[in-house]
Structure formats: structure tokens, C-alpha cells
Amino acid sequence: MNAAVDVRVNARVLAILSICATAFFLASHDALAKRLTMEYPIALMVWVRYLVHFLVMGVTAARSGGMRAFHSDCYHLHFLRSACLVALSFCFIFGLRFIPLAEATAVNFLSPLFVLMLTVMFFSERVRGKQWFSVILGLAGVLLIVRPGGALFTPAVLLPCAAAAFFSVYQVLTRVAGKVDSPTTSNLMVGLIGLLISSVLLPFFWVVPTGEGVTLMILLGFMGTAAHLFLAHAYKLSSPAALAPFSYVQILFAGLLGFIFYGHIPDVGAIVGMVLIVVGGLLAAIRFK
């Protein structure tokens, strides 16, 4: 009995560490993307990002299942998932040109609230009053961050909001695709289709990067891929609802990296807004336990 308890405890600890690693790599990815977007077209950055993702996942798939990982019974869902991620990347990275890292990350965490609304619309799931209250809290948090008259009260704040919307659609589609395909196939399809979509856009934005630029963009790709792998590992060990509270550490990492590399400290109103978004997101996550 004690051995079984120890295994469950160890699995939970590993899951928490994995979700924290996911948050760190995502925040680091965004911090680096904020710098690169000042020098290079976003299309080029996104293309390298998905090229690295596809190569890493291709090697992983070849070792685990060979060509079977390329077979899917729902290619249309994977195309829509990948299109959402590419759109998310463009919106969020472009938004980082105008919005500080911590604030943009916090606004992007509206996605659990959007997921809640989408499940009501498309899965006819019942939602209790406290879940709708979570939506109100999240929106109030955004209003505090981008309060009228403040420096962030610009159309640019719609970009991380749009990124959150695309991510919520991606999550819902992943939930549906996960009933058909394995996580390996799902991750591989994201890399492959994301690469194909960004390749179509690349010729219109191509520039020759410096050696340092290539290195940093490859590092960007590895950070994004590492985040996906750690996330998949975390969800193997524990449920998304149980891990939801720990995913918000990404806002803390974003704040620290924003201060270290860009010297930005969120004001009191923004910090209160971030707290409201976190509380709202946690209430929304409770719905799926």
C-alpha cells in the first residue's frame, strides 16, 4: 500500500515539475521572441520554430512508431489545430512588439475562459454560476491591465486577446483529436502542418538572417518544442485540471524575464489584474475536474 502511495506522490511531483518546466520554456520562448521580432519578420521566426518542432518530433516518432505516426484518421482536425497555433504565434509575437511580456502573458491566460465558453457552445456542457463568475473575473483582470487612459489602452492589446482565442480553439480541437490519434501523432502533425503553412507565407517575408539570428531562432524552436514535450509528459502523469494551478507560474516567469531583459515592472493595477485572471482561470479549470 505504501509503495503504491509513493508511486502516486512521485508521479504527481514529476507532473508538477513538468508543468513548471513547460511554463519556464514558454516564458523563455516569448522573451526571446520579443527580442527577435524587433529584427526579423515574424513569418521567418515562425517557420524556423515549426521546422525545429517537426524535425525533433519526426526523430521521436521514428524511434517510437516509425511511419505509423504519420497516419491519422482526422487530418482535417490537425490542419485546423495547426492553423490556430500558427495564427496564435503571429498574434502573440506581434503583440510583444507593443505589450510588455508579463502583461501579454497574463492576457493570453484568458484561454481557459474561452475554452469554457466553447465547451458550452459546441459540447452542450452545463456550466454553473461560479464558472460564469470566472469569466467576469478574467475580463475584469484584462480591464485592469489595459485600463482606459493607461499606457496599454491601445488596439495592440487585442493581439494577445486574439492569441488566447486561437489557443482556446486549439485546445478544444486537441480534445477531439485526442480521442482518435495518439499524442505522438498529434504533436507530429502540429509540426508538419505548421511548417507547411508557414512555408507558404515565408517567400513574402524572407530576409537573410545573421549567424546569431539563425542560432537564436533555432533556440526559439527548441524552447517551443521542449514546452510541448514537457506538457505532454505532465498530462501523462496527471490531469490538466489538477495541473492548471501550476501552469500560472508562467506569468511569474514572464514577469521575471521581462524585468531581467527589458527592465519592465508591472504596476499595481496590472498586478491586481493578473491575479484576477489567475483566479478566474482556476475557477474555470475546476469545471473540468
Q: What pLDDT, on the 0 to 100 scale, is given for residue 12?
A: 77
> Rounded to whole angstroms, how far apart are CA atoms 105 and 252?
9
> Rounded to whole angstroms, how far apart are CA atoms 178 and 288?
16
Cα torsion through 193, 195, 197, 202, rounded to 10: -170
Tell which residue, 244, 224, 249, 225, has the closest CA to residue 234.
244
> Rounded to whole angstroms, how far apart are CA atoms 33 and 206?
17
Please list the pLDDT of the chain residue by residue as tens digits (289 residues): 455 555 565 777 888 888 889 889 999 999 999 999 989 999 999 999 999 988 988 887 777 666 777 777 788 888 998 899 899 999 999 999 888 888 888 888 777 677 667 766 666 666 566 666 776 777 777 777 777 666 666 788 889 888 988 888 887 787 777 777 777 787 888 888 999 999 999 999 989 999 999 999 999 999 988 888 888 778 777 766 667 777 778 888 888 898 898 888 888 888 888 888 778 777 766 654 4
CA end-to-end span of the chain: 25
Tell which residue, 47, 80, 56, has the closest CA to residue 230.
56
Three cell numbers written together for 7: 508511486
Three cell numbers written together for 146: 489595459
Whole-model pTM: value is: 0.81
All residues at 6 or more sequence positions from 254 whose CB lies less than 8 Å from its CB, including other chains: 27, 30, 31, 101, 102, 104, 105, 106
CA distances from 147 to 70, 104, 140, 269 (A): 47, 14, 10, 8
Q: What pLDDT, on the 0 to 100 scale, is given for residue 289?
A: 47
3-state SS record for 211-223: HHHHHHHHHHHHH
Q: SS3 of 136, please?
A: helix
